[in-house]
């Protein structure tokens, strides 16, 4: 078996800004696993927030043994971007060897489309209102916030898209006091979810706090080992394959989270259709699906994911799985 890694860059359709900074392109790693006539591939987005770089993740992947099998991968790499790309590539490889779809191999029902959020990046209120108006036809908008002056932005988005369902991603940018002050206004403006309002290391303040709008763990939840630390703080967990370290753990985390009474959100980094493809299997029936990465790109993989009014559809076999 041969494992290869390439760094790929996809231009964004517009500048994308969150509270941590702005970007004009998505930098991803593409992993290909070749075994005879069959090749599987997967994608990951190394994330500096978790101490990952393109080089460090590449080194992790290239250090794997040539006789790698998917069942042994979890003993060789920790949860994170490197394991994600390899795990998804191995699922794709096994599907091609067997002539089956991944969901058949995993014992899952055939997937269908899921309505996905569309993300509005952080900007001045007037710009965010214009973004919201442009995308007001979409059923679900996600707003990037996380600054000391977020109320005008939220009011502006609601004015621009009066009928859309709205969720918020604060990207760890609020304090407990800011969240408590904003909470009644979130209810008034019809916000249905708040993602990671407090820093992951400071979220103890959520215990016992009134949460009139469900609060979702993102940076605080990576894999099943994270669940024990979320009790009393969160109502929803955001499952991202680049955090779980692949489809295998993402499916296991979904089942464990649901069994413990959490709702599930399935999210993504800003990546191509190859990164979204396996996540659609995890997103089936989720409270929130946030797999809009390709919608933010100016360019994509040769066989992109298909989006329409029903949402994001399962991947074509020519793309993955």
**Which of 240, 243, 263, 309 does the annotation list as catalytic?**
240
d(CA 61, CA 83): 8
Sequence-distant (6+) residues with CB within 8 A of 269 are: 26, 45, 47, 240, 242, 275, 293
Query: Phi/psi of residue 85, each to 5°?
Result: -60, -40
- HSE-CB at 296 with a 13 A cutoff on CA atoms is 25
Q: What is the DSSP string of 35-96?
A: ETTEEEEEEE---GGGT--HHHHHHHHHTS-TT--GGGGGGTS-SSHHHHHHHHHHHHHHHH
Contact 264, 230 (CB under 8 A): no
| Length of the chain (residues) | 321
Neighbouring residues of 264: CB distance < 8 A, sequence distance ≥ 6: 236, 237, 239, 254, 257, 258, 286, 287, 288
CB 26 within 8 Å of CB 293: yes
Query: Which one from 142, 144, 233, 243 is the annotated catalytic residue?
Result: 144
- Confirm whether 144 is a catalytic residue: yes
Tokens of 307: 């989006």
Q: What is the DSSP secondary-structure string of 89-141?
A: HHHHHHHHHHT--HHHHTTPPPP--B-B-EEEPP--HHHHHHHHHHTTTSSEE
The secondary structure of 133-197, three-state, reads: HHCCCCCEEEEECCCCCCHHHHHHHHHHCCCCEEEEECCCCCCHHHHHHHHHHHHHCCEEEEECC
The catalytic residue positions are 144, 240
């Amino acid at each position: 078996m041969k494992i290869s890694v390439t760094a790929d860059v996809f231009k964004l359709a517009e500048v994308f800004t969150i509270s941590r900074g702005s970007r004009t392109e998505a930098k991803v790693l593409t992993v290909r696993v070749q075994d005879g006539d069959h090749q599987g591939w997967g994608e990951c987005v190394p994330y500096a927030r978790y101490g990952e770089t393109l080089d460090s993740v590449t080194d992790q992947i290239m250090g794997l043994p040539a006789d790698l099998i998917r069942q042994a991968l979890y003993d060789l790499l920790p949860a994170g971007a490197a394991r994600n790309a390899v795990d998804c590539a191995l699922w794709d490889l096994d599907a091609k060897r067997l002539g089956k779809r991944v969901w058949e191999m995993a014992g899952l029902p055939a997937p269908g489309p899921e309505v996905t959020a569309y993300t509005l990046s952080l900007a001045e209120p007037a710009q965010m209102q214009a973004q919201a108006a442009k995308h007001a036809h979409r059923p679900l908008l996600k707003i990037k916030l996380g600054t000391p002056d977020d109320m005008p932005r939220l009011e502006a988005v609601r004015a621009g898209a009066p009928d859309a369902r709205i969720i918020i991603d604060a990207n760890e940018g609020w304090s407990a006091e800011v969240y408590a002050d904003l909470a009644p206004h979130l209810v008034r403006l019809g916000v249905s979810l708040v993602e990671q309002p407090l820093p992951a290391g400071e979220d103890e303040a959520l215990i016992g706090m009134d949460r009139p709008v469900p609060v979702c763990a993102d940076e605080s939840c990576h894999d099943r080992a994270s669940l024990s630390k979320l009790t009393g703080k969160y109502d929803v967990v955001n499952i991202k394959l680049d955090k779980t370290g692949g489809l295998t753990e993402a499916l296991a985390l979904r089942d464990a989270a649901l069994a413990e009474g959490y709702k599930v959100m399935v999210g993504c980094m800003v990546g191509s259709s190859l990164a979204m493809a396996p996540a659609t299997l995890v997103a089936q029936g989720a409270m929130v699906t946030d797999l809009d990465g390709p919608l933010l790109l100016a360019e994509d993989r040769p066989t992109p994911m298909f989006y329409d009014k029903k949402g994001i559809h399962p991947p074509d076999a020519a793309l993955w799985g």
